[in-house]
C-alpha cells in the first residue's frame, strides 16, 4: 500500500499537487485577506484599547468590529472547507486513471472533482457526526480538568463533570472508531461509483465488513505518517515566526506600540498560514490516496475488479466502476 501510494504520488504529482496548491492557496489567500482587513480595522484603535484611559471605546463601539471580523473568518473557513472537499474528491479522480495507467490533465481533474464535491461534503458531515460525540465527552472532561486546576482543587461540582466526560469518552470512543472505519471508504466510493452519501456509507460498510482491522491499520498508518510529516514541515516556519520575540529591544523600558504589536501578530499569523498551506499539500493528498488504494484492493479481493478495469482501460471516457450487479 505504501509503495503504491508513493508511486502514484510520484507519477501524478502534477495534477495532485497542482489541484491542492491552487485550492488551498486560494483558501489561504481568502483567510489572509480576512486577517489583514480585521487587523487594519483594529489597528487604529489598538492603543486606545490597551491604554486603559477613560477615552477608550466602550463595548458597544466594538460590536461592529467583532461582527466584521467574525463574518470574514466564517468566509475564510467556508472557503477552506470547500477546498478540502474538492481536493478529497480530486484524489480518487486521479486514482481512477492511475489504476488504468492513463494520464489525466488538470482540467479533467477539476471538472470531475467539482461535480462530486458536494456529495463528498455530505459524506464528510455524516462521518463527522460519528467523531463529534466522543470528542464532546472528551472536551467536557478537559474543561472540568481546567476548571479544577484553575480553582486549585476547589471542586464546586467539577469532579463529577470530569468523570462523566472521561467515562463517556471511554464508552463511546470504541463504537465511534468502529463506525468511522466502516465508513472510511465512502468518500472514495462517492467518486469512483458516483454514489450519493448514504448509499456510499452503506457500500463502504459492506466492503470493510470482513477486513476491519486491515483497513483500520492501514488508515491509521497513513494519517500518522501525514501528521508527522506535517509537524516536520510546520516546525521551521513556527520557529522563524517566534524569532522576533526572542530578541529584546534596545529600550527595555518602552512598551511596544500598537502598530508593532499588529505587525508582529500579523507576521506570526502569515507564517502560520504559509506553513499550514505547505503541510496541507501532503496531508490532504496522502491519506485519501491510501484509502483509495484500500478501496481498489478490497474490490479486487471480493468483487473481481480486474476484468472491469481491463475493460475500462480500452475506453476513453471515465468509468464509474460501479458495484457488481445483484445476484438474482
What gap in Å lies between CA 241 and CA 245, rounded to an integer?
A: 8
pLDDT per residue as tens digits for the range 98-151: 888 888 888 899 999 999 999 999 999 888 888 888 888 888 888 877 777 776
- Which pLDDT does position 65 carry in this prediction? 63
pLDDT at 153 over 70: no
Confirm if 184 and 291 have CB atoms less than 8 A apart. Answer: yes
Average pLDDT, the chain: 78
- Which pLDDT does position 328 carry in this prediction? 42
First to last CA, the chain: 35
Residue 161 lies inside a defined structural domain of this protein? no
Confirm if 186 and 204 have CB atoms less than 8 A apart. Answer: yes
pLDDT per residue as tens digits for the range 58-100: 555 566 666 766 777 777 778 888 888 999 999 999 998 888 8
What gap in Å lies between CA 193 and CA 50, rounded to an integer?
A: 57
pLDDT at 245 over 60: no
- Which pLDDT does position 136 carry in this prediction? 86
**Could you give the percent of the chain with pLDDT greater than 70?**
71
pLDDT per residue as tens digits for the range 258-289: 555 555 666 666 677 777 778 888 888 999 99
pLDDT per residue as tens digits for the range 288-304: 999 999 999 898 888 87
Print the domain residue range for 32: 2-120+195-313
Residue 320 lies inside a defined structural domain of this protein? no
- Which pLDDT does position 138 carry in this prediction? 85
What gap in Å lies between CA 318 and CA 312, rounded to an integer?
A: 8
C-alpha separations of 22 from 19, 26, 85, 124, 238 in Å: 5, 6, 13, 21, 23
pLDDT at 21 over 70: yes
* DSSP character string of 25-70: HHHHHHHHHHHHHHHHHHHTTHHHHHH--TTS--HHHHHHHHHHHH
What gap in Å lies between CA 86 and CA 23, rounded to an integer?
A: 8
What gap in Å lies between CA 84 and CA 61, rounded to an integer?
A: 36
Q: What is the pTM of this model?
A: 0.76
What gap in Å lies between CA 184 and CA 175, rounded to an integer?
A: 14
CB count within 10 Å of CB 158 equals 19
Residue 150 lies inside a defined structural domain of this protein? no
pLDDT at 163 over 70: yes
- Which pLDDT does position 322 carry in this prediction? 62
Residue 165 lies inside a defined structural domain of this protein? no
Domain count, the chain: 1
Residue 25's pLDDT band, with cuts at 50, 70 and 90, is confident
Neighbour-count burial of 15, counting CB atoms closer than 10 A to its CB (0-12 exposed, 13-18 middle, 19+ buried)? buried
- Which pLDDT does position 143 carry in this prediction? 82
Residue 214's pLDDT band, with cuts at 50, 70 and 90, is very high
- Which pLDDT does position 122 carry in this prediction? 92
pLDDT per residue as tens digits for the range 218-235: 999 999 998 888 888 877
Residue 48 lies inside a defined structural domain of this protein? yes
Residue 180 lies inside a defined structural domain of this protein? no
- Which pLDDT does position 50 carry in this prediction? 53
**Lowest mean per-residue pLDDT among 5-9, 52-56, 66-70, 124-128:** 52-56
Residue 165's pLDDT band, with cuts at 50, 70 and 90, is confident
Residue 228 lies inside a defined structural domain of this protein? yes
Q: What average pLDDT does this structure show over 308-312?
A: 68
pLDDT at 254 over 70: no
Amino acid at each position: 500500500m505504501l509503495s503504491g501510494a508513493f508511486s502514484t504520488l510520484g507519477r501524478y504529482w502534477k495534477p495532485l499537487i497542482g489541484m491542492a496548491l491552487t485550492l488551498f492557496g486560494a483558501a489561504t489567500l481568502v483567510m489572509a485577506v480576512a486577517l489583514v482587513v480585521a487587523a487594519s480595522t483594529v489597528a487604529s484603535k489598538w492603543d486606545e484599547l490597551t491604554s486603559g484611559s477613560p477615552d477608550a471605546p466602550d463595548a458597544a463601539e466594538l460590536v461592529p468590529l467583532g461582527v466584521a471580523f467574525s463574518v470574514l473568518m466564517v468566509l475564510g473557513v467556508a472557503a477552506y472547507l470547500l477546498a478540502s472537499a474538492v481536493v478529497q474528491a480530486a484524489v480518487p479522480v486521479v486514482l481512477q486513471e492511475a489504476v488504468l495507467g492513463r494520464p489525466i490533465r488538470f482540467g479533467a481533474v477539476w471538472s470531475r472533482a467539482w461535480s462530486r464535491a458536494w456529495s463528498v461534503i455530505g459524506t464528510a458531515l455524516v462521518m463527522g457526526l460519528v467523531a463529534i460525540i466522543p470528542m464532546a465527552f472528551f472536551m467536557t472532561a478537559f474543561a472540568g480538568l481546567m476548571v479544577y486546576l484553575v480553582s486549585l482543587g476547589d471542586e464546586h461540582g467539577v469532579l463529577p463533570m470530569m468523570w462523566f466526560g472521561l467515562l463517556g469518552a471511554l464508552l463511546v470512543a470504541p463504537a465511534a472508531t468502529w463506525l468511522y472505519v466502516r465508513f472510511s471508504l465512502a468518500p472514495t466510493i462517492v467518486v469512483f461509483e458516483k454514489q450519493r452519501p448514504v448509499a456510499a456509507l452503506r457500500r463502504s460498510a459492506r466492503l470493510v465488513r470482513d477486513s476491519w482491522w486491515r483497513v483500520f491499520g492501514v488508515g491509521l498508518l497513513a494519517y500518522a505518517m501525514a501528521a508527522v510529516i506535517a509537524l516536520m514541515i510546520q516546525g521551521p516556519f513556527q520557529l522563524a515566526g517566534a524569532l522576533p520575540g526572542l530578541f529584546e529591544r534596545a529600550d527595555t523600558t518602552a512598551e511596544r506600540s500598537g502598530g508593532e504589536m499588529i505587525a508582529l501578530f500579523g507576521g506570526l499569523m502569515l507564517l502560520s498560514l504559509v506553513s499550514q498551506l505547505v503541510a496541507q499539500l501532503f496531508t490532504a493528498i496522502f491519506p485519501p490516496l491510501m484509502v483509495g488504494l484500500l478501496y481498489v484492493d478490497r474490490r479486487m479481493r471480493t468483487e473481481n475488479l480486474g476484468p472491469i478495469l481491463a475493460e475500462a482501460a480500452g475506453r476513453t471516457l471515465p468509468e464509474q466502476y460501479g458495484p457488481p450487479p445483484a445476484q438474482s
